A and B are shown apart, each in its own frame.
Chain A
Amino acid sequence: MKKTLYSGAAILALAAGSAQAQELIFPVGEGDFAWDSYNAFADEYDLSGQTLTISGPWIGDDRDLVDTVFAYFEEATGATVEYAGSDAFESEIRRASQTGGLPNMAVIPQPGLLADLAAAGDVAPLTDEDAAWIEENYAAGQSWVDLATSENEQAGGEALNGFFYKVDVKSLVWYSPPVFEELGYEVPETMEELLALSEQAVEDGFAPWCIGLGSGDATGWPATDWVEDIMLRTQSLDTYDAWVSNELPFDSEEVVNAIETFGEFALNEDFTGMSGAEIVNTDFRDSPDGVFEIPPQCLMHRQASFIPTFFPEDAEYDFFYFPAFESEDLGSPVLGAGTVWAITDENEASRAMIEFLKTPVAHEVWMSQSGFLTPHNGVNTELYANDTLRGMGEILLNATSFRFDASDLMPSEIGAGAFWTGMVEYLRTGDAQAEAASIQSAWDAIK
């Protein structure tokens, strides 16, 4: 009798869990979505009663958005997706890797972390067909395959460890068009013009730049993007690659110069209206708010393509490409990053999810809402929610020189540790040479 009571309660509990499945945000068959790909996928898989656990860095709005994508996967396969997001995802997945409890899949924002997990035997390798599919269907496909390929303990050698989905373009400057219009400012085409515009803003009584480095455990990372973008604008691609692999030491003149160029923006109180310590204490999610206040606290914000997710609701915004120095003659490089999906505890549903991510619909559902870019060249770019996203999507699809976020490629001890701390300390002390040397010594220590 008791037994039946408990199992009854357990079944009820399970049923209550799966009843949460969301409704589909775009009805299947309506609009210019690639529904054929979705229907073909739905016909192929029946995973009723199975559960797919996923953990990743998406929280807040991004979490709601990814849930709308999962709804299609659940509808198509009958499986239940349990997603857990965390802003300390990197630490948590490492802990899970050491102590057990890995989810079926992990959405990893740093290829270095993916490589660590794969080397530790926690990642099931993807197949050669997956690699061929990415090369064929992603813009600059080979580079996405290369970025996710490294030593995999389970494969016993080099293997493709992950699938990129949701990519960010980082070399962007956000502003408020009405404010620019009011002040009679033109979008700058070169770095020289951008600096002149900043000076002009100071003269007109505005702080031109909003910068915030606060990000909980990850405080400091927004500054690394600045330094990387500046590296691409002052050095050749080869030098950039040498920096990533530490063939070019961190405290070499080229890197120190890039840090100091960042300092010309961030350590200039006229430019930011804040002390270095205040910049460190400002959360990066709140830092662009000043652009949209009336009167504006600041005029421009350099940040990746995901940032409009955190803009105030009714913000009128546009972006321009963080320009290159006319005097340097290095073309127009683009810095970017992305999240990569890995199978960390294989089951049938996780393989199905990789197949699902190949369908254009899995990309189109998110891109037609907000904050999502994809190098998938099979999607209908008309579906981007607005011109801003479409413009960035085109930058991505047409990238001539594209480089991945350097800190995400460095060993995580540097790229997600010493580099962050070094930048925080640089804003405090203003001593680029000393901080670069300290980052280099941290790198030497792990060699």
Chain B
Amino acid sequence: MFDSTIVSGILTIIIGVGGMLAYFWLSNLVLDKVIFPPKGKNIGRNINRANAVRPWLFTFPAIFALGLYLVVPVFYSIWLSVTSGVAQDGWYRNYEQIFLNQTFRVSLLNNLLWVLVVPAASTFFGLIAAQLTDRLSWGNIAKSLIFMPMAISFVGASLIWSFVYHPDMDIGVINAIRGLFGAEDGVTLIDGQVIDSFLLMVVLIWIQTGFAMVILSAALRGVPEDTVEAAIIDGANPFQVFFRIKVPQIRGTIMVVWTTITILVLKVYDIVAAMGNQYRNLEILPTQMMQYFDAGNYGFATAISVVIMILVLPVMFWNIRQARAEMR
């Protein structure tokens, strides 16, 4: 049967795609026929100018959307963080209050732990997996298995791991294994200790290892064979070939993978929200931000979002620089 959402979806696609086609067609028409017509005495200059303007016509919708949905909110957030809530008594007050807050400091520390552990572990496991699966006859199957968690949403993955950690021995895999070794009662693995953060990090490492593996595997294949052969002829063992010859040659790619995951980690919210419940010790900056947002305290929420942005920015610049260097 017809469903109004399907119908409106189809209509949206038709209008959207049609609108875009019409935009490009019309704007090029105006450019070529009206503004810089390729005729008359300036024909050469007009063609060159039209070609200089054309890329901007094509990128304008993207630039406009990006500006509207990304740049404007950033400035609005900064504005709110210095004017809203307690900032009415002084622009810095929201920042002062969040830094005085014990929970915020715990979140900052937890975020630091996440940033140190998750990208390193994901990249490391991804690199190892890429190298090991390369030589196996069933390497592609192994690769698919490792890559599969990438297709699962963060909340879905959190749910899966909540079952793994479940205190009930009939549900939780870990407690079931303990049971095999004679344990009588299930233990509650996530109970608000700082150390539990690592249990949550496992979820993200599980998801991101596949991503790291795929990129690094491609990079490893790009390592020139003659350098490897030369090393083997010189008597290098497999470990030396891997760590001394291959890894240095793909260092740029490793760095891009590393920084990409770092940026993701600084934004991760779902896993802690889904698994950490309300434990103060497991908070990270984005969960803190969402709690303030939900409570309607936009001053604190935007102040935290600005802090997150400041933390992400250097990593992002570095990531872009590395990626550009790679492309050269």
> 8 Å CB contacts to B: which residues of A387-422?
411-413, 416-417, 420-421
| B270 nearest CB across to chain A (Å) | 12
Contact of B277 with A280 in the complex, beta carbons under 8 Å: yes
Q: B234 at interface (Cβ–Cβ under 8 A)?
A: no
- How distant is the Cα of A445 from the Cα of B100 in the complex, in angstroms? 9
- Nearest chain-B residue to A216 (Cβ)? B277
Among B291, B295, B297, the most chain A Cβ lie within 10 Å of the Cβ of B295
Contact of A12 with B295 in the complex, beta carbons under 8 Å: no
- How distant is the Cα of A91 from the Cα of B301 in the complex, in angstroms? 13
- How distant is the Cα of A205 from the Cα of B294 in the complex, in angstroms? 43
Contact of A420 with B278 in the complex, beta carbons under 8 Å: yes
Residues of B within 8 A of A412 (CB): 294-296
Q: A446 at interface (Cβ–Cβ under 8 A)?
A: yes
Among A113, A278, A281, A438, the most chain B Cβ lie within 10 Å of the Cβ of A281
> 8 Å CB contacts to A: which residues of B73-116?
85-86, 97, 100-103
Contact of A116 with B296 in the complex, beta carbons under 8 Å: yes
Contact of B293 with A94 in the complex, beta carbons under 8 Å: yes
* A16-B2, A281-B188 as given contacts; A9 in contact with B277, CB under 8 Å: no
Residues of B within 8 A of A220 (CB): 278
* A12-B2, A275-B191 as given contacts; A424 in contact with B7, CB under 8 Å: no
Contact of A16 with B4 in the complex, beta carbons under 8 Å: yes
- Nearest chain-A residue to B6 (Cβ)? A13
* A16-B3, A219-B278 as given contacts; A425 in contact with B192, CB under 8 Å: yes
Residues of A within 8 A of B292 (CB): 413
Contact of A16 with B1 in the complex, beta carbons under 8 Å: yes
Q: B267 at interface (Cβ–Cβ under 8 A)?
A: no
> 8 Å CB contacts to A: which residues of B110-167?
167
Contact of A278 with B167 in the complex, beta carbons under 8 Å: yes
Between A and B, 11 residue pairs with Cβ closer than 8 Å are A17-B4, A94-B294, A95-B293, A217-B273, A277-B190, A413-B296, A416-B294, A424-B279, A428-B192, A438-B103, A445-B101
Contact of B296 with A424 in the complex, beta carbons under 8 Å: no
- How distant is the Cα of A95 from the Cα of B298 in the complex, in angstroms? 11
- How distant is the Cα of A98 from the Cα of B294 in the complex, in angstroms? 11
- How distant is the Cα of A447 from the Cα of B88 in the complex, in angstroms? 11
- How distant is the Cα of A354 from the Cα of B188 in the complex, in angstroms? 47
| B101 nearest CB across to chain A (Å) | 7
Residues of A within 8 A of B11 (CB): 6
Residues of B within 8 A of A447 (CB): 86
Contact of B278 with A424 in the complex, beta carbons under 8 Å: yes
- How distant is the Cα of A220 from the Cα of B294 in the complex, in angstroms? 16
Q: A168 at interface (Cβ–Cβ under 8 A)?
A: no
Residues of A within 8 A of B85 (CB): 446
Contact of A421 with B297 in the complex, beta carbons under 8 Å: no
- How distant is the Cα of A16 from the Cα of B1 in the complex, in angstroms? 8
Contact of A445 with B4 in the complex, beta carbons under 8 Å: no
| B134 nearest CB across to chain A (Å) | 42
Q: B280 at interface (Cβ–Cβ under 8 A)?
A: yes
- Encode contact with B along A1-18: 1 for CB under 8 Å, 0 otherwise: 000001001101110110
- Nearest chain-A residue to B294 (Cβ)? A91
Contact of B295 with A9 in the complex, beta carbons under 8 Å: no
Q: A90 at interface (Cβ–Cβ under 8 A)?
A: yes
- How distant is the Cα of A17 from the Cα of B167 in the complex, in angstroms? 44
Interface residues of A (CB under 8 A from B): 6, 9-10, 12-14, 16-17, 90-91, 94-95, 98, 113, 116, 214, 216-217, 219-220, 275-278, 280-281, 411-413, 416-417, 420-421, 424-425, 428, 438, 441-442, 445-447
Contact of B291 with A417 in the complex, beta carbons under 8 Å: yes
Interface residues of B (CB under 8 A from A): 1-4, 6-7, 11, 85-86, 97, 100-103, 167, 188, 190-192, 273, 277-280, 290-298, 300
| A165 nearest CB across to chain B (Å) | 24
Contact of A413 with B295 in the complex, beta carbons under 8 Å: yes
- How distant is the Cα of A411 from the Cα of B80 in the complex, in angstroms? 20
Residues of A within 8 A of B2 (CB): 9, 12-13, 16
Contact of B295 with A416 in the complex, beta carbons under 8 Å: yes
- How distant is the Cα of A113 from the Cα of B297 in the complex, in angstroms? 12
Contact of A428 with B191 in the complex, beta carbons under 8 Å: yes
- How distant is the Cα of A225 from the Cα of B186 in the complex, in angstroms? 29
Residues of A within 8 A of B298 (CB): 98
Residues of A within 8 A of B86 (CB): 445-447
- Nearest chain-B residue to A120 (Cβ)? B296
- How distant is the Cα of A220 from the Cα of B277 in the complex, in angstroms? 9
Residues of B within 8 A of A417 (CB): 291, 294-295
* A9-B2, A445-B86 as given contacts; A278 in contact with B188, CB under 8 Å: yes
- Nearest chain-B residue to A438 (Cβ)? B102
| A57 nearest CB across to chain B (Å) | 14
- How distant is the Cα of A116 from the Cα of B296 in the complex, in angstroms? 8
- How distant is the Cα of A219 from the Cα of B275 in the complex, in angstroms? 11
* A16-B3, A413-B297, A425-B279 as given contacts; A277 in contact with B192, CB under 8 Å: yes
Residues of B within 8 A of A428 (CB): 191-192, 279
- How distant is the Cα of A279 from the Cα of B179 in the complex, in angstroms? 22
Contact of A9 with B7 in the complex, beta carbons under 8 Å: yes
A278-B167, A424-B192 given; 4 more Cβ-contact pairs under 8 Å: A217-B273, A281-B277, A425-B280, A428-B191
Among A95, A214, A428, the most chain B Cβ lie within 10 Å of the Cβ of A428
| B276 nearest CB across to chain A (Å) | 10
| B202 nearest CB across to chain A (Å) | 18
- Nearest chain-B residue to A444 (Cβ)? B97
- How distant is the Cα of A195 from the Cα of B293 in the complex, in angstroms? 41
- Nearest chain-B residue to A276 (Cβ)? B191
| A335 nearest CB across to chain B (Å) | 22
Among A9, A216, A217, A445, the most chain B Cβ lie within 10 Å of the Cβ of A445
- How distant is the Cα of A12 from the Cα of B4 in the complex, in angstroms? 8
